[in-house]
C-alpha cells in the first residue's frame, strides 16, 4: 500500500514536470485574451477569482512569481492543497466522493 502511494506521487510529479511547458504556453496565451469574468467586463473591477485559472496554470508550470501576481489567494490555496495531498493528509478520491472499488457495499 505504501509503495502504491509513492508510485502515485512520483507519477504525479512526473506529470507536472512534463506538463510545465504546455501549461506555461496556455497561461501565456490566456494572458493576451479578454477576460470572461462578467463582473470585470461590466464594472471594470476584478472579482476575487479573476486570474485564478491562469494562476493555476502558472503554478503547474512552476512559475510561482507570475501566479502570485495574477491571484495570490488561488496560488496559496493550490500550494497548500498540493502539500496536503503530497503528505497524505488529503486523499483526492475521498474529497471528491469517489467510491473505493475494494470496499464492499451493503446489499
As a whole number of angstroms, the distance between CA 56 and CA 10 comes to 20
Q: What is the pTM of this model?
A: 0.63
Say if 67 falls within a structural domain. Answer: yes
Identify whether the C-beta of residue 16 lies closer than 8 Å to the C-beta of residue 60.
yes
Q: Decide if 107 is inside a domain.
A: no
pLDDT at 84 over 60: yes
List, for residues 85-101, the tens digit of each pLDDT value.
Answer: 888 888 877 777 776 66
Write out the residue range of the structural domain in which residue 54 sits: 2-96
Q: Give the containing element (helix H, strand E) for 61.
A: helix 52-61
88 in a structural domain: yes
80 burial level (CB within 10 Å; 0-12, 13-18, 19+) = exposed
The reply to whether 72 falls in a domain is: yes
Domain tally, the chain: 1
Instruction: Flag whether 18 is in a domain.
Output: yes
What is the model's pLDDT at position 76?
A: 94
Amino acid at each position: 500500500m505504501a509503495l502504491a502511494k509513492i508510485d502515485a506521487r512520483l507519477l504525479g510529479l512526473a506529470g507536472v514536470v512534463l506538463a510545465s511547458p504546455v501549461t506555461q504556453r496556455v497561461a501565456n496565451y490566456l494572458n493576451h485574451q479578454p477576460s470572461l469574468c462578467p463582473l470585470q467586463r461590466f464594472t471594470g473591477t476584478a472579482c476575487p477569482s479573476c486570474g485564478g485559472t491562469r494562476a493555476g496554470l502558472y503554478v503547474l508550470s512552476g512559475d510561482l512569481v507570475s501566479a502570485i501576481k495574477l491571484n495570490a489567494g488561488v496560488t496559496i490555496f493550490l500550494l497548500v492543497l498540493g502539500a496536503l495531498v503530497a503528505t497524505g493528509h488529503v486523499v483526492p478520491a475521498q474529497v471528491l466522493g469517489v467510491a473505493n472499488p475494494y470496499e464492499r457495499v451493503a446489499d
